[in-house]
Amino acid sequence: MFTIEHEFDATVVTLVDEGTAPLLEDVTVHVTETDVLLNQYDPRVDRVISVRLSPCQWRDLTAALNLPEGVYRAK
């Protein structure tokens, strides 16, 4: 399951784990004009872990989800 919220300066997508137990914490994806920020709470260290991607990296990641194994360069 996921939710999408449009805020003033970002779109926020929340991904909820609906797999089998043990379930992982929700992942939030904050998309702005300049950054894509992936956040997930890690209970082992009691803090939110973040990964920041450029819009180009995000585009490549989403394209890669639908491609077979190989090396690619976006045009």
pLDDT score of 65: 84
pLDDT score of 75: 75
Amino acid letter at 30? H
- Tokens linked to 7: 């805020």
pLDDT score of 27: 97
pLDDT score of 5: 94
pLDDT score of 10: 93
Summarize pLDDT for 29-44 with one digit per residue, the tens: 999 999 999 999 999 9
Q: Which stretches of the chain drop beneath a pLDDT of 50?
A: none
Model pTM score: 0.83
The answer to whether 31 and 10 have CB atoms below 8 angstroms apart is yes
64: three-class secondary structure by DSSP: helix
